[in-house]
Structure 1
């Protein structure tokens, strides 16, 4: 699906583009300043996020709120060469992921997240439309008493982190977490292959290169499809 088709599908041509997040602060219903959109990939199943866009409950569009390399454990940053023993395990999902990302400044509660990414392990380019359930939005508004180890105090924390895991085969799974709260599962979405290919078709089908370590793992153990 082209970017234009996606915009038409969700009526984006009728929406007012986001020009300044702070200008809309008075229209928000959040008990905190901002919520964050975070991503992670699984061990050796490297990912490059081309774009992540958000539509909030007021039908406002926030483009480009995610891109680049998501959080991941293996291969480690700046690691070189192939290890004698692979310590990572890409099968299944972590129980309480945190991910990394950025704040969606000025947004109200999320209604839809669109993400397009390169799964370098395959390689393939996927896109997914993640509808955030109303139950999850309600959870984002509920304060929870918790002990925060960071400062050793009991606080009221909120699940203001939307965490998305990306796996080969186009699978996207979502959690809600807080700074001092464990993540809880929200939804799982099966994405589709983006027909334009990597970089919107501008790279002639060439994906970003997989690291030497990840390639060696996949050559030896394969990709554990079906575990996500």
Structure 2
């Protein structure tokens, strides 16, 4: 009986030890994909499809408006990305291993223009997402978020981060204009949303700062 109880206890402990581990090489249950844009440069993501390092594909892992700052007093600045920003509007990619590539198609509402590209996620990004933080957050020990910045002109920046450490840039890319236009190539060809008044006013006064991202 004592041997049986010891076996049960060890089994339970083993289950607890692996409860937070994700599939394959992922050291946690899931990672987060988020999208953001510079101040006032509003974006609508039509689709974001993920392929992980095991070849699994996850569709519609991003859609809708992205995280963007729209100060009503005009105090925002669309140039550059700043030193601190959130991890973007998005969702957790459940059941996926570390990301290998991401296809994204989006509407740059500030221009307006539609872009699409397939992002090859570098090995450095996966290494950083797998390393334990030297000074972990209270509940997070890894950089489990991948944030993708989408700017006018099809400029893309990518960072990995956690909820409590600074973002680390892991890639830059340039997307191509989507020849089928907005609305996923449908015949209506309409953009998803009109610009917010704050964005329209900023662009009328300052223009779009191409080359600053």
TM-score w.r.t. structure 1 length?
0.79
Cα distance, 1:119 vs structure 2 = 0.4
| 2:78 corresponds to which of 74, 78, 90 | 90
The structure having more radius of gyration, on CA atoms, is 2
Corresponding residue SS for 1:140: helix
| 1:216 corresponds to which of 196, 201, 212 | 201
Aligned 8 A contact 2:145 2:161 in 1: yes
- C-alpha change, 1:63 and 1:147, in structure 2 (3 Å) is closer
- C-alpha change, 1:89 and 1:143, in structure 2 (3 Å) is same
Q: 1:167 aligned to 2:151?
A: yes
Q: 1:41 aligned to 2:37?
A: yes
Corresponding residue SS for 1:36: strand
| 2:69 corresponds to which of 57, 68, 73 | 73
Structure 2 unaligned residues grouped into runs of 5+: 1-20
Report the Cα distance in structure 2 between the residues aligned to 1:209 and 1:127, rounded to whole angstroms.
20
Other-structure match for 2:119: 130
Structure 1 unaligned residues grouped into runs of 5+: 1-24, 76-82
Q: Give 1 or 2: higher strand fraction.
A: 1
Q: 1:139 aligned to 2:133?
A: no
Q: 1:53 aligned to 2:74?
A: no
Q: 1:29 aligned to 2:25?
A: yes
* Per-residue CA distance 1:130-164 (angstroms, 9 max, x = gap): 1111121111111012153xxxx5x7621110000
Aligned 8 A contact 1:146 1:180 in 2: no
TM-score w.r.t. structure 2 length?
0.84
RMSD: 1.8
